[in-house]
Amino acid sequence: MQTLTVSHKGQVVIPSEIRERLGISPGSKVSVVAEGNRVMISLERRRVATDVMAGFGMLKAKTASKRKSLLDVDVAELMREASKKHARAEP
């Protein structure tokens, strides 16, 4: 446990090793709750809003004659192939 000093504005600095471990960066949101004589700070994870169209085109056949049902697609294999292509493209 570390002791922090409260500024005249009521601010405290979260130590860098804690910020790094929890992924806290400028703009991160935290919740503060008083419990007895303790102050509890919790990191709120960012949620990215998505919609159905965000996934459009992710799974596509190489030719129209090879169209497949989603039940016939091995998503894990497609992701592995994409990862390999991406790794080869990086210098």
Domain count, the chain: 1
With respect to residue 83, please indicate whether it lies within any of the assigned structural domains: yes
Q: Which pTM value belongs to this model?
A: 0.46
* 3-39 pLDDT tens trace: 899 999 999 999 999 999 988 889 889 999 999 999 9
Q: Which domain holds residue 75?
A: 59-89
With respect to residue 64, please indicate whether it lies within any of the assigned structural domains: yes
With respect to residue 41, please indicate whether it lies within any of the assigned structural domains: no
With respect to residue 71, please indicate whether it lies within any of the assigned structural domains: yes
Distance from the Cα of residue 18 to its chain's centroid: 18
With respect to residue 63, please indicate whether it lies within any of the assigned structural domains: yes
* 33-42 pLDDT tens trace: 999 999 999 9
> 5 CB contacts (<8 Å, ≥6 apart)?
12
Contact 39, 33 (CB under 8 A): yes
With respect to residue 66, please indicate whether it lies within any of the assigned structural domains: yes
Q: Which two tokens stand for residue 51?
A: 């919609």
Three-class secondary structure assignment of 26-62: CCCEEEEEEECCEEEEEEECCCCCCCHHHHCCCCCCC
With respect to residue 67, please indicate whether it lies within any of the assigned structural domains: yes
